[in-house]
Chain A
Amino acid sequence: MSQSQQHLTVSVWRGKSEGAFQDYQVPHLENQTVLDIVTWIQRYLDPTLSYRFACRVGMCGSCAMTVNGTPRWTCRTHVSKVARDGRLKIGPLSNLPVIKDLAADMTAFFEKWQRAEARFTPTKTRLDPIEQIPPSSPARLAASAAIECINCGVCYAACDTVRWNADYLGPAALNRAWTLVNDVRDGGQDVRLRAISANGGCHNCHSHQSCQVLCPQNLNPTASIAGLKRLTAAAFIRGGLK
């Protein structure tokens, strides 16, 4: 194996919103994730490199970055699948401010979950009997199809509607709202429907489906948003959104 095949040239974003890509030479191993590469650079080449990770096994959703122009969860992205001609370009997630280097500021992302009323509003106390929800009921099936979001922000970074309209709630927040809309135990539906049909809500979605194509959990936020569009349109016709 030649020297060039044994090493990858990795361009990593250094700085905040103002900054530049810096090249590093990293040993190329057979089984290696993009997160392994970033960790190697920080441990052996430049300890000032900032990035975010926690579980390393695709559960926590904290290590998403832009890899060769595409947002990806780096702990489950194998270098062999994304490296081109022995090169990798790694930057922070798009559509979010940069804290430093590869760490994006997720504040706006999670604030939009709050704006979408994407939180459970209980209607029972611990003294009430547990609600029986048939696993095969249509609402439960709809919620189940969308519920495994790990909040990684890949869909948000891939969404051009977010890029063009900073007010847009984004795929993740709306997808979470859809799971709650289908939760028969939830008592916050009226407030939620008003929130998700307001400016920046579900009707802003252009259905590009980049969120679905790139979601590491294979979820389909566009389908969830389409469901919200139908639901809010029906509520509007019934006069429920006044």
Chain B
Amino acid sequence: MQAHRRQTLWLAALIHRLSGLLLAIFLPIHFLVLGLAIESEAKLENFLRWTENPLVKFAEMGLVFLLTVHLLGGARLLVLENFPWRVWQKLFATIAVGISALIAFGFLFRVM
């Protein structure tokens, strides 16, 4: 990574971009699964059984992290651009990642 990018808020922007991209990739797959409900109840049931696999639960934890971190990161940007400047940008970005990790681990703890 180039030296000038090694700072908290550049990494926050990178995480925001990547999480948005990965969620955008996930969405059509999610809709395809929802489509199974219309196509065939048995197929959906099979798929849902497959999602009980611990590895899938682990991947779901990643999804929860991506969604939360993207949501909180987006909220920070909305506040930054629409309200008077706040000096706590680095702190908020760090807290956003921390809260997202906590929620993701909480999810994993609940479903495992």
User: Contacts A210-B4, A214-B4 hold; do A226 and B9 have CB atoms under 8 A apart?
Assistant: no
Total interface residues in chain B, CB < 8 Å = 14
From A154, which residue of chain B is reached at the shortest CB distance? B4
By a beta-carbon cutoff of 8 Å, the part of chain B in contact with chain A is 2-5, 7, 9-10, 13, 77, 80-82, 85, 89
Contact A227 B3 (CB under 8 A): no
Residues 35-59 (chain A) with a chain B CB within 8 angstroms: none
Tell me which residues across on chain A come within 8 A of B5, comparing CB atoms.
160, 208, 210
By a beta-carbon cutoff of 8 Å, the part of chain A in contact with chain B is 68-71, 157-158, 160, 206-210, 213-214, 220, 223, 226-227, 229-230, 233
* Interchain CB contact (< 8 A) of A226 among B2, B4, B85: B85
Instruction: List 3 tightest A-B contacts by C-beta distance, closest first.
Output: A69-B3, A223-B85, A209-B9
Q: Could you tell me the distance between the alpha carbons of A226 and B9 in the complex, rounded to whole angstroms?
A: 15
Contact A207 B9 (CB under 8 A): yes
Tell me which residues across on chain A come within 8 A of B85, comparing CB atoms.
220, 223, 226-227
From B13, which residue of chain A is reached at the shortest CB distance? A208
- Mind listing 29 A-B residue pairs with CB under 8 Å? A68-B3, A69-B2, A69-B3, A69-B4, A70-B4, A158-B4, A160-B5, A160-B10, A207-B9, A207-B77, A207-B80, A207-B81, A208-B10, A208-B13, A209-B9, A210-B4, A210-B5, A210-B7, A210-B9, A210-B10, A213-B9, A220-B85, A223-B85, A226-B80, A226-B81, A226-B85, A229-B81, A230-B81, A230-B82
Q: 13 new A-B pairs (CB below 8 Å) besides A68-B3, A209-B9, A223-B85? A: A69-B2, A160-B10, A206-B13, A207-B77, A207-B81, A208-B5, A208-B13, A209-B7, A209-B10, A210-B4, A210-B7, A210-B9, A213-B9
Q: Could you tell me the distance between the alpha carbons of A233 and B82 in the complex, rounded to whole angstroms?
A: 9
Q: Could you tell me the distance between the alpha carbons of A37 and B60 in the complex, rounded to whole angstroms?
A: 54
Contact A207 B4 (CB under 8 A): no
Tell me which residues across on chain A come within 8 A of B7, comparing CB atoms.
209-210, 213
Q: Could you tell me the distance between the alpha carbons of A220 and B9 in the complex, rounded to whole angstroms?
A: 13
Q: Could you tell me the distance between the alpha carbons of A223 and B82 in the complex, rounded to whole angstroms?
A: 11
Q: Could you tell me the distance between the alpha carbons of A210 and B5 in the complex, rounded to whole angstroms?
A: 7
From B16, which residue of chain A is reached at the shortest CB distance? A206
Q: Could you tell me the distance between the alpha carbons of A75 and B1 in the complex, rounded to whole angstroms?
A: 26
Tell me which residues across on chain A come within 8 A of B82, comparing CB atoms.
230, 233
Q: Could you tell me the distance between the alpha carbons of A233 and B83 in the complex, rounded to whole angstroms?
A: 12
Tell me which residues across on chain A come within 8 A of B80, comparing CB atoms.
207, 226
Q: Could you tell me the distance between the alpha carbons of A183 and B5 in the complex, rounded to whole angstroms?
A: 33
How many Å from the CB of A205 to the closest CB on chain B?
9
Q: Could you tell me the distance between the alpha carbons of A63 and B80 in the complex, rounded to whole angstroms?
A: 32
Q: Could you tell me the distance between the alpha carbons of A45 and B9 in the complex, rounded to whole angstroms?
A: 41
From B76, which residue of chain A is reached at the shortest CB distance? A207
Q: Could you tell me the distance between the alpha carbons of A158 and B77 in the complex, rounded to whole angstroms?
A: 20
How many Å from the CB of B89 to the closest CB on chain A?
7
Contact A71 B4 (CB under 8 A): yes
Q: Could you tell me the distance between the alpha carbons of A213 and B3 in the complex, rounded to whole angstroms?
A: 12
How many Å from the CB of A8 to the closest CB on chain B?
18
